[in-house]
Amino acid sequence: AQSVTQLDSHVSVSEGTPVLLRCNYSSSYSPSLFWYVQHPNKGLQLLLKYTSAATLVKGINGFEAEFKKSETSFHLTKPSAHMSDAAEYFCVVSDRRGTYKYIFGTGTRLKVLA
């Protein structure tokens, strides 16, 4: 069975400093992994997804994530935080060989300080 763990419920960074949001997954086969962002009272926007083509995945708005099979991790990073990055971030693994359901992490709230 698939599962995903977001290690931090809240992360605070200063504007212009790096962002690291941590995610560990469990999957019995090569997983589909995604990062989504949710701004207040909005739907989820896809930031990036792992497709097995490359372990370093680049997404929108300067975000990227590295798939590390040995560590079962898919951490999200950004070199320099912007005020507009303040939002809730969800790491997701998909049951792509069965029901196609998403298994959501509990979310990480990113706060960006001026």
Partner 1 sequence: GAVVSQHPSRVICKSGTSVKIECRSLDFQATTMFWYRQFPKQSLMLMATSNEGSKATYEQGVEKDKFLINHASLTLSTLTVTSAHPEDSSFYICSVRAGGGGVPGTDTQYFGPGTRLTVL
Q: Which residues in this chain contact partner 1 in the complex, by CB under 8 A?
A: 30-34, 36, 41-46, 49-52, 90, 94, 96-97, 99-102, 104-107
Inter-residue contact 51 to 23 (CB < 8 Å)? no
Q: What is the SS3 string spanning 40-76?
A: CCCCEEEEEEECCCCCEEECHHHCEEEEECCCCEEEE
For partner 1, the closer CB: 15 or 49: 49
The tokens of 55 are what? 């372990």
Among 110, 108, 112, 102, residue whose Cα is nearest residue 3:
102
For partner 1, the closer CB: 31 or 81: 31
For partner 1, the closer CB: 14 or 103: 103
In the complex, the smallest distance separating the C-beta of residue 89 from partner 1, rounded to whole angstroms, is: 11
In the complex, the smallest distance separating the C-beta of residue 21 from partner 1, rounded to whole angstroms, is: 14
